[in-house]
Every structure is written in C-alpha cells, then in structure tokens.
Amino acid sequence: MCLQTLWDAIQQSKEDMLSHFNSKVDPIQSSLTNIQNSMSTLGEQVQMLEQRVGANEDIGHELVVRVKQLEKDNAYLLDKVDDLENLSRHSNLRFVGVQENAEGSDMIGFMSRLIPQLLGQDAFPTPVIIERAHRSPTARQGDQSSLRSILITLLNFQDKVKILRLARVKKILEFNGKRISIYSDFSPDLSRRRRSFDPVKRKLCELNMKYFLRYPAMLCVVVDGKQQRFLETLKLSLCPP
C-alpha cells in the first residue's frame, strides 16, 4: 500500500468519525438550544410574575391603608351618631318599676301626677311640662321583672336636673308599694359603657367610698379628698382593701 492510499484512508476515517460525531452531537446541541430558549422564556415569565406580585403587594398595602382609614372614619361617624342620639335624649327621663297599665289611657297626665307624688308636692308648685311619654317597646313576658320602663321628654331641661337631684336626696321612691327608680335616658351604646362600671360601683359602695358618674361615661372616685377619673372599667384589684 502506497503512502497516498494510506493517507486517503486516514482522511476518510477521520471524516467518517466526524460525521458520526456530528450526528450524535447535533441532537444534543438542538436540545441544549431548546433548553436555553425555555430557560429564557421561563426567566421572562418569572420576571413578569415578580412585577405582578410587586404590583399586587403595592395594591394590597394601599387597600390595607384605605381599610384602616375607613375603619377610623366609621368609628368617628358612629361616635357622632351616638352623640346626636344622646343629644336628642337630652331632656329624657326613664322611670323603672311602674306597674303596667297604672297610667290608664293618659300617660302624660299620669306622669305629671306621679312625679310630685314620688318627690314631694311642695317641690313642684307648678306641674312639670311633659312633651311626650310612653312605655319602652320592650316585649313583655308577663312577670314582675319584665315591667316596661316609662320614657318621658320634658320641655325644660332644668326640670330633669331637679327631678334627678330630688330622687338622689330622697333615695327610696315608692308607688303602690313598689320601688321606683329614675334614670337619665341614654343611647344603647352609652348605656352599655356606663353599665360596665356597675361591678366597680358595687365594690366602692361596700368600701364606703364616694363616687359618681360624669357624662358621658367617666367614673370619678374620691380618694383622700381628691378625684380620680377613669374612662374605662376599673379592675377591682385597684380598689383599696
């Protein structure tokens, strides 16, 4: 075999090997290219998702801020509505314990007579002027404890102040052998806030400590001759033994 023939054989073998190698590498290269394209697409999608998540987080934060502001505004408006409701009850009084049907068919006339009867005729040389009077709309259940209170609206606020003062001085009020209580008329929310002090007030009574409630819902306790004011319910542990 001459040298040229050997060289041609080597070249042919080389070409065959390259052809075989390329036939194996080309699919791999194609797959790598596809993977690279997929990774590029995936990267773009991830970037878009990150942008959307970031935008949603911004929107979510804005919504949280808006909700908090709306809650604040709502609480403010509720307070205003409650203030207006209590203002509309400014000259109202609530009588508790009056037997059902004792008023007959003339509630205003009955209450005009009952007030001096409870607090003393001498204190009312002229009858108080009552604009409206009615039983509370609470459903009756037929027992003594379910007596509906009587609500009255006085023309003059000073008459209300006078009635409450006389009731505090007299302490025990009775009509037909039944105990009668007289209270200012408040909105349900303010009534609840004032009632929250009841357990503390009972404890203060047991301790013979002076206290009083100021409008709208402030408990004032006299300690060593000084007033301490509380807007929230006191813990009994704060009371001296």
Helix axes 188-195, 3-88, angle to 10 degrees: 90
Domain 187-241 top-level CATH class: alpha beta
| Secondary structure (3-state) at 130 | strand
Q: Are 189 and 82 in contact (CB under 8 A)?
A: yes
Contacts of 156 (CB under 8 A, 6+ apart): 91, 128, 129
> Strands 211-214, 218-223: parallel, antiparallel or unpaired by DSSP?
antiparallel
How many CB atoms neighbour CB 166 within 10 A?
18
Residue ranges per structural domain of the chain: 1-87, 90-185, 187-241
**Assigned CATH topology for domain 90-185:** Alpha-Beta Plaits (3.30.70)
DSSP structural state of residue 147: P
Helix ranges restricted to H, 128-183: 157-170
Helix ranges restricted to H, 89-170: 107-119, 157-170
pLDDT per residue rounded down to tens, the chain (241 residues): 577 777 766 777 777 676 766 677 677 777 778 888 888 888 888 888 888 888 888 888 888 889 999 999 999 999 999 999 999 999 999 999 999 999 999 999 999 999 999 999 999 999 999 999 999 987 555 555 578 999 999 999 999 999 999 999 998 999 999 999 999 999 999 999 998 888 888 888 888 888 888 888 888 888 888 888 877 655 444 444 4
Minimal CA–CA distance to 181: which of 172, 192, 190?
172
Helix axes 107-119, 157-170, angle to 10 degrees: 40
Minimal CA–CA distance to 123: which of 78, 173, 89, 73?
173
Q: Is the dihedral of CA 197, 198, 199, 200 positive or negative?
A: positive
Q: What is the pTM of this model?
A: 0.66
